Structure formats: C-alpha cells, structure tokens
Amino acid sequence: MGADTSNKPEFKRSPSHFVDRITADGSEGWPVEAGRYRLIVSRACPWANRAMIARRLLGLESAISLAVADPIQDERSWRFTLDPDGRDPVLGIRFLAEAYYARDPEYTGGISVPAIVDIPSGKLVTNDYLHIPANFATEWRSLHREGAPDLYPEPLRDEIDEISEVIFRDVNNGVYVCGFARTQQTYERAFTALFTRLDALSERLSRQRYLVGDSITVADIALFVTLVRFDAVYHGHFKCNRNKLTEMPVLWAYARDLFQTPGIGDTVDFDHIKRHYYVVHRDINPSGIVPLGPDLSGWLTPHGREELGGRPFGDGTPPGPPPEAERIPAQW
C-alpha cells in the first residue's frame, strides 16, 4: 500500500518510486534467479495480495521467498513483529524501510508493499505494485511450476490491460477515494464511479466466467482483491455502501468462484485485513475498534459459475497446497 491520506480534499495514491523490473535477460540489472529475491507483503494489502496470488498460481514459492509483515504499521513503516525477535529471518531487518534506505539513503517517500528485495545486498529492487503479477507471469517463466497457467496471454494483453486500467481507476483505487474523501463532492463522485463500474463488470460477468478469455488472468486477480475486502472493510469503513458484495449476485458468485480456486482464497487473511484497516486508519475510525462482523462463512458456499464454462487454469493445472509456513489459520 502506498497512499497520501493527509488532510486534503482529494485522495492521491502515491506512484511507485522504484519501478525496476526483474527480467529473464537481466537487461535492467536484476536477472531472474531462484532464491535471490524476497517478496515482502502484508496480507492486509490488496496490492500485495495480487503478487501473492500470482506467485501461488505460477508455483514460484521456491523461487522467491515470502516475508509477511505485521498488519499493524507504526510510524517506522511495515514491521516484522510476526517473526522471532521482530526481525525478518532472511534479511535480518526489523522494518521494511531499512531495505528502502539501503537502496536510496536519501529516499523520503512512502514505504509500501508489495516490495521485492535483493537478498545479497538487502536493497529494495521494486515496489511497482501494478506490474509485479504480469512480470511474474512473463519474465519468471523459466521458474514456473509444471502446469502453471498463463496469467497474461499475449493475444489478450491489450484487452487485459484495458480492463485492468478501469478496474484500477474506478474500483481498486475508487474505494480508497471514497474512504479518504474530505469533501462530499469528492466522495459522491468516487462512489458513483465505483458502483457504475461494478454494475458494468457484473453485466460482463453475467455472460462469461472470467473477465478476459476463458481462464483466470491478471485482470481477475486485480478485481478479486478488492471484492474479497468489500464487505469486511470497504462497505462500512470506506462508506462504499450502496450494496454489499453479497447483495450483488453476479459479482458475489464470481468472487466465491475465485476464492474457492486453489492458489487464490488460500492467500486471504480476513483477520489481518480487518485489523489493518480498522486499527491503522485512526482518522476514519478513531476508536480503533475492529468489528466482529460480517459473517464470512458464505465464501465457501456453492457459486454455480461452472455453468458458464471456462477453465480456471486454461491448459494448466491447479497449484498444490501452500507451503506449511504460509498457511493461514482457519478463519471460521
């Protein structure tokens, strides 16, 4: 997450400052190499969740290790208080900021996840949250598991990019514009754009199982990470309350379909999600009280989307279970 939530009328998402790519040929100075890099995430963050899902579906767990930050930040940035002694066991750092400053000691911007860190040097490589999933799908192909799906198929990239752009603008970012709006006009404009876009996506998904083509792509991952947080956080906390997700039948079924797909729902930690948003955003929720609801058990109910056809993994196969250290405790 990277955002400016200061007292301004308009919410502005901070752009990624470090946009280096890790490439198969090493042309940008960072070659794909198994075991060299560490993916830093918060399970609360939708942008980090995108990277986690792509990593799981493609079977990159052994190629790029995972560090999970505490969902509760402090003024020093994302912290590794979930690990023994409060240090990441691989990088040896207490705060993600340390990797940012190792890369650029003069850096004064936000400290965001997902972040990929070069283990030998301890330096941040990239925090380019929008493009990490597609980069995993293309540049890391030599390290994909056998049977990995094609999440960014070349013939469909223009369409994937087009729909991903409007999802980012109106949905992924739109919920934040609603939540952090300082004027009624700003809020109402973002609210209207959000639900207009969700209605259009619902219409599209009433006719096809996935957003583009007949299998899961990075576009579906982009939409899912907002939908899965919608009722737990965005509906109440960010005032995105025209409807709950559970009251939008097509999108609710679509989201359940993806949640029940191996490699997607097993990356979602509702406890981390709720604690982060409700505790950290004291300007929105001064009490820091985390609501007990909503009932989340409906995520495992039948969705019926198989009737639309499509194959979740295309010509590929499902990923195996997550590594033991990455499994999320039962949530209901």
Binding residues: 78
235 neighbors 244 (Cβ within 8 angstroms):
yes
> In whole angstroms, what separates CA 325 from the centre of its chain?
20
Question: How far is the CA of 69 from the CAs of 53, 72, 219, in angstroms?
Answer: 17, 8, 25
Q: Give the torsion sign (CA, 254, 257, 259, 261).
A: negative
Query: Which listed residue (129, 176, 210, 234) is catalytic?
Result: 176
Host H or E run for residue 66 = strand 65-68
Number of C-alpha atoms within 13 angstroms, CB side, residue 16?
18
DSSP 275: H
The closest alpha carbon to 239, from 287, 193, 176, belongs to 176
Query: Which listed residue (45, 129, 187, 277) is catalytic?
Result: 45
Residue type, 287: S
Describe the crossing of helices 218-229 and 249-259 by its angle, rounded to 10 degrees: 110
Tell me whether strands 65-68 and 37-41 are parallel, antiparallel or unpaired: parallel
Which parts are annotated binding residues for glutathione?
Answer: 78
Task: State yes or no: is 178 an active-site residue.
Answer: no
Task: State yes or no: is 277 an active-site residue.
Answer: no
Per-residue DSSP letters for 107-145? --S---SSEEEETTTTEEEE--TTTHHHHHHHTTGGGSP
Question: How far is the CA of 195 from the CAs of 3, 167, 171, 175, 245, in angstroms?
Answer: 22, 11, 8, 10, 11
At 41, give phi and psi (nearest 5°): -135, 165
Quote the tokens at residue 1: 């997450």
* Residues that are catalytic: 45, 176
